[in-house]
């Protein structure tokens, strides 16, 4: 390790921090029975259930859909010719600094399904292609090494950009960053700092990966994400993926873990209202000591709005929840084709959206069951994502446009016949738009024994997306463990502040 690398790591206090001190002298399991209802069976709900069931709680998960997993869900589809398979909401990257989620995967014995991606590639029509496989992994050195990739030039840095303003990226400090930048969109920031187009493109792919176009996303959220993904650890941008459908690699192990410990999972059970009775809660007829609301924003808004005790006794909390927003619509199109792409590509590719296409996943290179289909039938399986459809983009045109842009990047695919296809256009993703942070609720609410969990909940650590979902659940269950006199779980984080904060 060079002197500089050593100094950077030292200044950040290392790249992996233990957030809480765990007192091993406290018992790990409950002595008398306690119960918890968990609303929503996505990562946040499942993480809550796994940790609570392990400690002896009676756990009830209520999930609206007929499948588990939320945005990491998987369900069966049957095509006209009788072919049955599983589909999901789409490709998911497990970054190596997802410390809490990875501990969870280890606990349920699912970490064995993780495989590394071979490269981090961005294809663009105007600026050429960028590969980040061999980019320097040390924070700051990684930004400097982008110069070699043509993301910015020495003269850009010296004369065109407002370089000093860009130092805000290295100064992440939750309170200060959100105070200074939560009301500014990335689009405004890019204009003010005169970001060169290649750098703007990189940030835009980041912004869109948080389901927002540059004019909507909060610059504070983007600084936080840059800190979390890039400037606080030495994992580089390379990440892992699950090597088969989430049903086999994640959901089944979760279900087994929970049910083997007595937990109960109720599918097709949307919770529309919660009642409070003598300090306990009634959720779908189960009387429980604790509630963790781990539903997405639309579901949480409804459950809170229709719970009479919240409406009458906690109007401030209700208002806070009603102010949260869903993101723009996103689209996921999976296609089974009779032809493959020519050339070698990593299985996940970012594209500079010509209009709406943000990424292409080559499923048969990643998932075992997709590989098997291709071995038997030839051709390929691809998934096309648009993370943020422009507000005025007509839903009927989504399929056609995704395929058109796929063909622009890979002309050979225009010749392919589509054998099966499955399209989803949804708007249940969390908005990380400007101005939302000041009212964003935390995991602990003003209602005793009533918690929130999910990727949209404010946390004391800079985690995002799937890691935020898992980590928020750990904060909620740790609070419950503390109340019950139990030992807490260890919560891990990247450094909570940036190098220059």
**Contact footprint for ligand FAD (CB under 6 A):** 39-45, 62-65, 70-72, 89-90, 92-93, 270-271, 294-296, 299, 302-303, 330, 332, 385, 429, 454-455, 465-466, 469
Element (H, E) at 101: helix 99-107
Select 62 or 120, whichever has its Cβ closest to ligand FAD: 62
Select 140 or 332, whichever has its Cβ closest to ligand FAD: 332
**Can you tell me the distance from the alpha carbon of 238 to that of 139, in angstroms, rounded to the nearest whole number?**
14
> By Cβ distance, which residue is nearest to ligand FAD?
299
When computed from its CA atoms, the radius of gyration of the chain, rounded to whole angstroms, is 23
> In whole angstroms, how close is the CB of 39 to ligand FAD at the nearest point?
5
Select 111 or 484, whichever has its Cβ closest to ligand FAD: 111
**Can you tell me the distance from the alpha carbon of 180 to that of 290, in angstroms, rounded to the nearest whole number?**
37
> In whole angstroms, how close is the CB of 79 to ligand FAD at the nearest point?
21
Please work out, in degrees rounded to the nearest 5, the angle formed at the alpha carbon of residue 90 by the alpha carbons of 247 and 424. Answer: 110
Q: Is residue 240 within 8 Å of residue 115, measured between CB atoms?
A: yes
Q: Cα-Cα-Cα-Cα dihedral of 454, 460, 461, 467, to 10°?
A: -10
Select 102 or 385, whichever has its Cβ closest to ligand FAD: 385
DSSP string, 401-460: HHHHHHHHH-GGGGGPPEEEEEEEEE--SBP-BTT-GGG--BSB-SSTTEEE-STTSB-S
Select 189 or 230, whichever has its Cβ closest to ligand FAD: 230
Work out the widest C-alpha separation in the chain, in whole angstroms. 68
Please work out, in degrees rounded to the nearest 5, the angle formed at the alpha carbon of residue 293 by the alpha carbons of 292 and 299. Answer: 165
Select 9 or 424, whichever has its Cβ closest to ligand FAD: 424
> In whole angstroms, how close is the CB of 341 to ligand FAD at the nearest point?
21
> In whole angstroms, how close is the CB of 152 to ligand FAD at the nearest point?
26
Q: Is residue 72 classed as helix, strand or coil in its secondary structure?
A: helix
Residues whose CB falls within 8 Å of the CB of residue 439, separated by 6 or more in sequence, listed in order: 319, 320, 323, 324
> In whole angstroms, how close is the CB of 31 to ligand FAD at the nearest point?
30
Select 152 or 429, whichever has its Cβ closest to ligand FAD: 429
**Can you tell me the distance from the alpha carbon of 86 to that of 78, in angstroms, rounded to the nearest whole number?**
9
Select 53 or 72, whichever has its Cβ closest to ligand FAD: 72
> In whole angstroms, how close is the CB of 143 to ligand FAD at the nearest point?
22
> In whole angstroms, how close is the CB of 84 to ligand FAD at the nearest point?
22
> In whole angstroms, how close is the CB of 431 to ligand FAD at the nearest point?
13
Q: Is residue 85 within 8 Å of residue 63, measured between CB atoms?
A: no
Select 56 or 70, whichever has its Cβ closest to ligand FAD: 70
Select 92 or 364, whichever has its Cβ closest to ligand FAD: 92
Of the candidates 293, 313, 301, 298, which has an alpha carbon nearest to the alpha carbon of residue 36? 293
> In whole angstroms, how close is the CB of 429 to ligand FAD at the nearest point?
6
> In whole angstroms, how close is the CB of 35 to ligand FAD at the nearest point?
17
Phi, psi (5° rounding) for residue 239?
-140, 180
Element (H, E) at 255: helix 252-260
Select 413 or 473, whichever has its Cβ closest to ligand FAD: 473
Residue 159, number of CB atoms within 10 A of its CB: 10
Residues whose CB falls within 8 Å of the CB of residue 217, separated by 6 or more in sequence, listed in order: 185, 186, 207, 210, 432, 433, 434
Q: What is the 3-class SS of 159-183, one letter each residue?
A: HHCCHHHHHHHHCCCHHHHHHHHCC
> In whole angstroms, how close is the CB of 331 to ligand FAD at the nearest point?
9
């Amino acid at each position: 390790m060079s002197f500089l690398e050593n100094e950077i790591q030292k200044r950040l206090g290392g790249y992996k921090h233990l957030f809480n001190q765990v007192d091993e002298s406290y018992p790990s399991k409950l002595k008398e029975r306690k119960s918890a209802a968990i609303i929503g069976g996505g990562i946040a709900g499942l993480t809550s259930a796994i940790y609570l069931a392990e400690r002896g709680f009676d756990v009830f998960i209520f999930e609206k859909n007929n499948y588990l997993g939320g945005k990491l869900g998987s369900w069966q589809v049957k095509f006209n010719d009788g072919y049955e398979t599983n589909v999901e909401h789409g490709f998911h990257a497990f970054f190596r600094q997802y410390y809490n989620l990875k501990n969870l995967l280890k606990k349920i014995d699912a970490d064995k399904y993780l495989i590394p991606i071979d490269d981090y590639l961005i294809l663009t029509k105007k600026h050429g292609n960028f590969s980040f496989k061999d980019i320097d992994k040390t924070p700051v050195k990684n930004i400097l090494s982008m110069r070699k990739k043509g993301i910015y030039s020495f003269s850009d840095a010296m004369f065109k950009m407002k370089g000093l303003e860009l130092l805000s990226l290295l100064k992440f400090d939750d309170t200060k960053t959100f105070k200074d930048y939560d009301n500014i969109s990335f689009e405004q920031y890019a204009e003010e700092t005169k970001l060169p187009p290649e750098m703007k493109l990189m940030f835009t792919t980041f912004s869109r990966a948080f389901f927002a176009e540059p004019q909507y996303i909060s610059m504070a959220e983007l600084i936080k994400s840059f800190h979390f993904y890039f400037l606080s650890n030495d994992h580089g941008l390379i990440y892992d993926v699950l090597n088969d459908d989430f049903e086999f690699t994640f959901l089944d192990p979760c279900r087994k873990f929970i049910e083997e410990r007595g937990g109960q999972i109720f599918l097709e059970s949307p919770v529309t209202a919660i009642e409070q009775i003598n300090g306990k809660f009634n959720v779908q007829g189960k009387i429980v000591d604790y509630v963790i609301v781990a539903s997405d924003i639309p579901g949480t808004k409804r459950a809170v709005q229709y719970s009479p005790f919240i409406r009458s006794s906690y109007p401030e909390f209700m208002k806070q929840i009603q102010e949260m927003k869903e993101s723009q619509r996103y689209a996921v199109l999976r296609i089974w084709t009779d032809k493959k792409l020519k050339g070698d590509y990593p299985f996940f590719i970012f594209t500079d959206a010509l209009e709406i296409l943000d990424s292409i996943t080559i499923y048969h290179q990643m998932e075992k069951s997709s590989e098997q289909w291709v071995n038997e039938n030839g051709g390929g399986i691809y998934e096309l994502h648009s993370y943020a459809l422009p507000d005025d983009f007509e839903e009927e045109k989504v399929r056609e446009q995704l395929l058109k842009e796929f063909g622009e990047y890979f002309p050979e695919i225009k010749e392919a016949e589509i054998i099966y296809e499955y399209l989803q256009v949804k708007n249940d993703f969390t908005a990380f738009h400007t101005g939302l942070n000041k009212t964003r609720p935390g995991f602990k609410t003003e209602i005793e024994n009533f918690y929130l969990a999910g990727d949209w909940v404010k946390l004391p650590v800079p985690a995002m997306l799937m890691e935020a979902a898992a980590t928020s659940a750990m904060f909620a269950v740790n609070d419950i463990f503390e109340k019950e006199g139990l030992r807490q779980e260890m919560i891990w984080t990247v450094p909570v502040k940036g190098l220059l904060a």
